């Protein structure tokens, strides 16, 4: 009896020990992931098609395919085989690269992002280390595809340069991986629908569209710490340029407000004349060249007591037409100077005067949809004049106007 109890107690103890030890080894939190295959690479290829692309799809496919092939050959010299090619045209993030490397068991994520605009072919090459979680190489360049076979060696040299830099980094003890950024840039702004583009001159990479006042840009492996230039664009607005002095960082960048391209505007203002009586001015402008050359039509009304009894006020109405030009270099400038000339007709108690506007000058401070303006006008009486009542002409020598302009 005692022997049976000891036997069953021993089985229970052994089963409990195994049930405690074995599950712990299978589910322990300290278990490490299986190492990634250092001889295996996945190739992440993406091609951007410009909205105004005029080249054939065949030409686009030829050059983007060749760039990928050049990378495969360059890394094959170091025994890195293409385990799998994945299309990342829909977008690429640092986290997605890491996840794809883990999913495929490949240590190296080799990136080829290309685009074609007019006769320029652009590419971004990079190598991501899925084991150490940083980039070990990066290269960017462009060629004129109309040069034909002469552009092929340039692509080859870029791929070989990337592979060599990657290989050298493996044997460099001091290498810290700070060759390319691992994230997108975060922007804020007040104008939804603004597109952010990275690049310079005629080539830009899509960074994304501002929505609900925020944007985290599309990931590109830009070189860390180097200045990065860009543009903010929106339909019917003048584009705005910006620069990130340190490239992509963790700091939030506020996009500059874009100025609307003006075709029409209407303004309301108050004229300052010698008698200081209230004077209303309404103006309409049609811009022949947006924010550069415009035609205008105005109507103004004011009272005059200088020639009549103080108890009687003569009401004047003036009708003006003219043409003006903005003189500042940039059409989207916040502060603008303009000048113009024109003619006007004044009526007052049966009297009619024809005036010339030989010169009017103004300054405006612009917001995206409206502007403050201050204008000075120098006028003189021309030959035509019909008098029933002789108005005072001293106030026509010069006057100022303060008002606002609404733009669309």
Residues 169-213: pLDDT tens digits? 787 554 544 557 778 899 999 999 999 999 876 677 888 999 999
Give residue 116's pLDDT: 81
Question: Residue 81 and residue 37: Cα distance in Å, rounded?
Answer: 11
Please, are residues 207 and 171 in contact by the beta-carbon 8 Å criterion?
no
Q: What are phi and psi of 149, to 5 degrees?
A: -65, -20
For 27, counting Cβ atoms within 10 Å of its Cβ (0-12 exposed, 13-18 middle, 19+ buried), the class is exposed
Give residue 400's pLDDT: 85
Give residue 394's pLDDT: 52
- Report the share of the chain in percent with pLDDT over 90: 41
Written as six digits, the tokens of 406 are: 């609404």
Q: Rounded mean pLDDT of 24-47?
A: 68
Written as six digits, the tokens of 238 are: 């003048």
DSSP state string for 53-98? --S-HHHHHHHHHHHHHHHHHHHHTTT-EEEEEEE-TT---HHHHH
pLDDT band for 404, please (50, 70, 90 cuts): very high
Give residue 16's pLDDT: 43
Mean pLDDT for the chain? 80
Give residue 28's pLDDT: 39
Domains and CATH numbers, the chain: 37-170 (3.40.50), 186-254 (no CATH), 264-407 (2.40.160.20)
Q: Helix, strand or coil for residue 23? A: helix
Give residue 121's pLDDT: 84
Give residue 132's pLDDT: 82
Q: Rounded mean pLDDT of 379-408?
A: 68
Q: What are phi and psi of 352, to 5 degrees?
A: -130, 130
Question: Residue 408 and residue 404: Cα distance in Å, rounded?
Answer: 14
Kindly give, in sequence order, each residue whose CB lies less than 8 Å from that of residue 365, ignoring residues fewer than 6 positions away: 334, 335, 371, 372, 373
39 pLDDT more than 90: no
Give residue 272's pLDDT: 78
Q: Which of 315, 301, 312, 407 is nearest to 364 (CA)?
A: 407
Please, are residues 112 and 125 in contact by the beta-carbon 8 Å criterion?
yes
Between residues 394 and 258, the one the model is more confident about: 258
The torsion angle over the Cα atoms of residues 39, 90, 211 and 208, rounded to 10 degrees, is 70
Tell me the CA end-to-end span of the chain in Å, nearest whole number. Answer: 102
pLDDT band for 337, please (50, 70, 90 cuts): very high
For tokens 């019917």, name the residue: 236
């Amino acid at each position: 009896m005692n022997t049976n109890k000891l036997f069953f107690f021993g089985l229970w103890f052994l089963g409990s020990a195994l049930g405690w030890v074995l599950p712990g080894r299978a589910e322990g939190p300290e278990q490490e992931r299986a190492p990634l295959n250092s001889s295996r690479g996945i190739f992440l290829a993406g091609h951007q098609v410009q909205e105004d692309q005029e080249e054939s799809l065949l030409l686009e496919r030829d050059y983007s395919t060749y760039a990928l092939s050049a990378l495969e050959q360059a890394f094959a010299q170091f025994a890195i085989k293409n385990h799998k090619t994945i299309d990342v045209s829909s977008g690429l993030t640092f986290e997605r690269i890491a996840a794809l490397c883990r999913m495929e068991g490949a240590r190296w994520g080799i990136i080829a992002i290309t685009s074609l605009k007019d006769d320029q072919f652009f590419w971004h090459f990079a190598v991501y280390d899925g084991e150490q979680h940083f980039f070990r190489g990066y290269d960017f360049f462009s060629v004129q595809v109309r040069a034909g076979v002469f552009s092929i060696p340039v692509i080859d040299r870029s791929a070989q340069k990337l592979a060599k830099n990657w290989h050298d980094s493996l044997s460099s003890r001091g290498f810290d991986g700070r060759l390319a950024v691992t994230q997108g840039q975060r922007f804020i702004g007040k104008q939804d629908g603004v597109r952010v583009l990275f690049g310079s001159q005629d080539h830009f990479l899509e960074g994304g569209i501002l929505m609900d006042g925020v944007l985290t840009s599309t990931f590109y492996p830009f070189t860390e710490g180097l200045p990065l230039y860009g543009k903010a664009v929106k339909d019917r607005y003048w584009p705005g340029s910006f620069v990130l002095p340190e490239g992509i960082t963790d700091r939030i960048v506020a996009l500059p407000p874009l100025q609307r391209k003006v075709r029409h505007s209407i303004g309301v203002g108050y004229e300052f004349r010698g008698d200081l009586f209230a004077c209303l001015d309404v103006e309409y402008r049609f811009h022949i060249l947006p924010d550069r050359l415009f035609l205008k039509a105005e109507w103004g009304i004011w009272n005059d007591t200088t020639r009549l009894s103080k108890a009687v006020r003569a009401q004047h109405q003036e009708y003006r037409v003219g043409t003006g030009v903005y003189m500042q270099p940039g059409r989207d400038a916040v502060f603008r100077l303009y000048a113009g000339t024109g003619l006007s007709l004044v009526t007052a108690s049966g009297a009619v005067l024809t005036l010339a506007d030989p010169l009017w000058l103004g300054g405006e401070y612009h917001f995206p949809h409206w502007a403050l303006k201050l204008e000075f006008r120098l006028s003189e009486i021309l030959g035509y004049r019909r008098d029933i009542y002789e108005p005072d002409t001293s106030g026509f020598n010069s006057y100022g106007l303060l008002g606002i302009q609404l733009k669309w």
